[in-house]
Amino acid sequence: MKNVLIILTAIILAACASSGVMVDQSKVDKFQKGVTTEADVYGALGKPTTVTVSNGMKILTYVGSQAQLKAASFIPVVGLFAGGADVRASVLSLTFKDGVLSNIVSSQTQSDVRNGSGVTE
């Protein structure tokens, strides 16, 4: 029984992957232009993926992605045709002037990636 639990845990962990900082839109909706400060953003989201400084403006960018394999991916032969992954990604760019938020650009995507057929949705 213990071996089954170990194998099951390994499969679950192998089925998920993430990178960067995923930002939920509900957090973005709380930010207000002309009010929100850099410190507010760091407190809510943590360290950004990149920081760009140009012409007196600072841009904090948060980029993240998550992929979760479909259960069918683990079934021999069937996985070649029915397997794949659900992939989510988010990109958030926050522009600051004098430490106060001046612009927000946010993007959320979700894709269904399939094995074998080369089809994506």
For the segment(s) 17-114, the CATH number from 3.10.28.10, 3.30.1450.10, 3.40.47.10, 3.90.180.10 is 3.30.1450.10
**What is the dihedral sign for C-alpha 111, 112, 116, 117?**
negative
> Taking the model in full, what pTM does it have?
0.67
Q: Which residue has the higher pLDDT, 40 or 87?
A: 40
**pLDDT mean over 27-46:** 95
pLDDT band at 12 (very low <50, low <70, confident <90, very high): very low
What is the C-alpha to C-alpha distance for residues 77 and 69, in angstroms, rounded to an integer? 15
Question: Structural domain boundaries of the chain?
Answer: 17-114
Residue-wise pLDDT for 53-109, tens only, equals 999 999 999 999 888 776 555 456 544 455 677 888 899 999 999 999 999 999 888
pLDDT confidence of residue 109: 83
Question: What is the end-to-end Cα distance of the chain in Å, rounded?
Answer: 39
Cβ–Cβ < 8 Å for 36, 100: yes
Q: Would the pLDDT of 119 be above 60?
A: no
Q: Which two tokens stand for residue 75?
A: 């079934």
Q: Which residue has the higher pLDDT, 114 or 33?
A: 33
Q: How far does CA 18 lie from the centroid of its chain? A: 7
Which among 121, 13, 117, 19 is positioned nearest to 74, based on CA atoms?
13
